[in-house]
């Protein structure tokens, strides 16, 4: 027997990963369940429509079994959890992958939109079914794309109820979405998605009926006062349900790298890069705030755009991009600020410089000005800038975004690039070139040191610097140095 009871739940709680087939697709199997909340305003009945917002591409369906709480549950055991469930039905946990990065795990924007939780159409009484004997199936335009059973779950319904009840009271009417199996993918405007939950082996084979949702095209863009949609290859792979593309291991700037860079000059590294065609990787016009300062680290970027009153009003206050950059910098990183060479205002002051030092940043590099210059110098962190200026940021700039490719002093800088600096200035090194450039710079430094010793002995520089064949042969004979 089924019921069409449509009580509005006080809470909708969704499980991240719960089917082995989906876990295998994602490449990770959780040891314990994890959850997120969906707003009640996201509920929709069968026959409803869901908009894929204008300017987005990755709206994905997830057919699921929804369980409804019938009696309050607080600190219950896994063995008793199912007894607090009064009914089950079909659910579709829609998500917009274009907004996953903006949510940073909360899922509010990418899974909480109006119509993103279709539910129904009928509830099956829990007493009529075995919780391990339910089947969930999903069709897109009539083609079966998901088909799995609750007998395979990583975390059964009783365990989910018990776990949640350790943290909060589950109240009558609350709904738990119990995870989706493999087969979830994206849908386009005009396509129809249907989800059904049934118990084929139970008496009467009770069913929720088909939960039908039609995708439509949105006509309104997201405004500039909030995060905009953004996708990359990994998000596309996960949204389509394919394996993420293979990637090279991320470059790590090791302690050994740092020690080796401490022994070579920026000028020497610059020459090695120039041989490889990298002639515009020098950050022009910046100087250190202490004589003898040198540093090496990986770039964390901040982009400032030209001042405009309305844009500063929307982006200049609160926890803006400038504050985010200095609050998020990790030990050994270099904050690189794109200020378009505008030195007519400060882009970093004493408080932010102190924050960078406390966070363990290796340095701050900006092609703009430094405010509170004397105080910043006393803090001790290397700051390479275009010079001091007493004005605040808003005179010329709007703090716009972080962790993007920037142009600082005429050099392109990407997050994760290696940045080195000394009395000659600041240089940007693509991570893929670090090993070979560093090795060549070390060899050149050794050769230069040998040449300096010969000059100190009184030898003329002609033929010695740079070494001609005669001097090169002597150098290699004495040191084993290679060309």
- Per-residue three-class SS string for the chain: CCECCCCCCCCEEEECCCCHHHHHHHCCCCCCCCEEEECHHHEECCCEEEEECCCCCCEECCEEEEEEECCCECCCCHHHHHHHEEEEEEEECCEEHHHHHHHCCCCHHHHCCCCCEEEEEEEEEHHHCCCCCCEEEEEECCEEEEEEEHHHCCCCHHHHHHHHHCCCCECCCCEEECCCCCCCCECCCCCEEEEEEECCCCCCCCECCCEEEEEEECCCCCCCCCCCCCCCHHHHHHHHCCCCCCCCCCCCCCHHHHHHHCCCCHHHHHHHHHHCCCCCCEECCCEECCCCCCEEEEEEEEEEEECCHHHHHHHCCCCCHHHHHHHHCCCCEEEEEECCCCCCCEEECHHHHHHHHHHCCCEEEECCEECCHHHHHHHCCCEEECCECCCCHHHCEEEEEECCCEEECCEEECCCCEEEEECCEEEEECHHHHHHHHHHHHHHHHHHHHHHHHHHCCCCCCCCCCCCHHHHHHHHHHHCCCC
Q: Where is pLDDT greater, at 224 or 309?
A: 309
pLDDT at residue 244 above 80? no
What gap in Å lies between CA 170 and CA 176, rounded to an integer?
10
Q: Where in the chain is the domain with CATH 3.90.850.10?
A: 12-240
pTM (2 decimals)? 0.53
Torsions phi, psi for 261 (to 5 deg): -65, -30
pLDDT at residue 1 above 50? no
End-to-end CA separation in angstroms for the chain: 85
Mean local confidence (pLDDT), 25-36? 88
pLDDT at residue 440 above 70? yes
pLDDT of 250: 73
Q: Tell me the pLDDT tens digit for each residue of 120-164.
A: 999 999 999 999 999 999 999 999 999 999 999 999 999 999 999
Average pLDDT, the chain: 91
Mean local confidence (pLDDT), 446-454? 86
pLDDT at residue 86 above 70? yes
pLDDT of 6: 56
pLDDT of 245: 43
pLDDT at residue 305 above 90? yes
Lowest mean pLDDT among 176-180, 328-332, 386-390, 451-455: 451-455
pLDDT at residue 242 above 80? no
pLDDT at residue 327 above 60? yes
pLDDT of 363: 97
pLDDT at residue 119 above 60? yes
Q: How deeply is 279 buried, as exposed, middle or buried, from its count of CB atoms within 10 A (0-12, 13-18, 19+)?
A: exposed
15: which strand partners?
35
Q: Tell me the pLDDT tens digit for each residue of 189-220.
A: 999 999 999 999 999 999 999 999 999 999 88
pLDDT at residue 35 above 90? yes
Q: Where in the chain is the domain with CATH 3.50.30.40?
A: 280-429
pLDDT at residue 368 above 80? yes
Q: Which CATH class is domain 12-240?
A: alpha beta
Q: Where is pLDDT greater, at 183 or 233?
A: 183
Q: Which CATH class is domain 280-429?
A: alpha beta
pLDDT at residue 4 above 80? no
pLDDT at residue 227 above 90? no
pLDDT of 5: 54
Instruction: Quote the Cα angle for 309-387-390, to 5°.
Output: 50
pLDDT at residue 188 above 90? yes
Q: How far is CA 224 from the centre of its chain?
A: 20
């Amino acid at each position: 027997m089924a019921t069409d009871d449509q009580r509005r739940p006080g809470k909708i709680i969704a499980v991240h990963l719960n089917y082995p087939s989906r876990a295998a697709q994602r490449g990770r199997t959780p040891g314990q369940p994890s959850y997120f909340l969906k707003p009640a305003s996201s509920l929709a009945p069968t026959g409803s429509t869901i908009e894929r917002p204008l300017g987005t591409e990755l709206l994905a369906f997830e057919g699921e079994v929804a369980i409804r709480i019938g009696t309050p549950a607080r600190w219950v055991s896994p063995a008793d959890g199912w007894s607090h469930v009064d009914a089950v039905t079909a659910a579709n946990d829609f998500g917009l992958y274009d907004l996953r990065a903006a949510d940073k795990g909360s899922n509010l924007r990418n899974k909480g939109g109006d119509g993103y939780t279709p539910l129904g159409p009928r509830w099956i009484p829990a007493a009529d079914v075995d919780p391990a004997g339910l089947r969930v199936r999903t069709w897109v335009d009539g083609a079966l794309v998901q088909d799995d059973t609750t007998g395979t779950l990583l975390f059964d319904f009783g365990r989910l109820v018990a776990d949640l009840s350790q943290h909060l009271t589950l109240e009558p009417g609350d709904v738990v979405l119990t995870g989706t199996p493999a087969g979830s993918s994206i849908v386009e405007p005009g396509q129809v998605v249907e989800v059904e939950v049934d118990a084929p082996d139970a008496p009467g084979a009770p069913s929720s009926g088909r939960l039908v949702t039609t995708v439509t095209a949105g006509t309104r863009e997201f405004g500039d006062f909030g995060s905009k949609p953004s996708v990359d290859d990994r998000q596309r792979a996960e949204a389509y349900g394919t394996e993420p593309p293979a990637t090279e291991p991320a470059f790590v700037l090791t302690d050994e790298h740092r020690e080796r860079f401490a022994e070579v000059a920026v000028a020497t590294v610059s020459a090695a890069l120039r041989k490889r065609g990298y002639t515009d990787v020098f950050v022009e016009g910046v100087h250190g705030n202490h004589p003898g300062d040198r540093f090496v680290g990986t770039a964390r970027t901040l982009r400032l755009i030209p001042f405009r009153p309305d844009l500063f009003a929307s982006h200049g206050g609160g926890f803006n991009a400038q504050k985010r950059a200095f609050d998020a910098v990790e030990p050994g990183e270099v904050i690189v600020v794109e200020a378009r060479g505008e030195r007519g205002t400060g882009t970093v002051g004493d408080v932010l410089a102190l924050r960078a030092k406390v966070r363990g940043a290796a340095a701050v590099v900006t092609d703009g000005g430094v405010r509170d210059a004397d105080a910043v110098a006393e803090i001790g962190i290397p700051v390479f800038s275009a010079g001091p200026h007493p004005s605040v940021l808003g005179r010329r700039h709007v703090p716009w975004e972080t962790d993007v490719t920037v142009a600082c002093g005429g050099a392109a800088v990407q997050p994760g690039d290696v940045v080195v600096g000394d009395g000659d200035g600041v240089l940007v090194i693509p991570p893929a070139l670090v090993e070979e450039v560093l090795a060549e710079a070390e060899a050149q430094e050794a050769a230069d040191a040998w040449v300096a010793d010969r000059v100190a002995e009184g030898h003329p520089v002609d033929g010695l610097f740079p070494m001609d064949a005669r001097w090169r042969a002597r150098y290699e004979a004495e040191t084993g140095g290679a060309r």
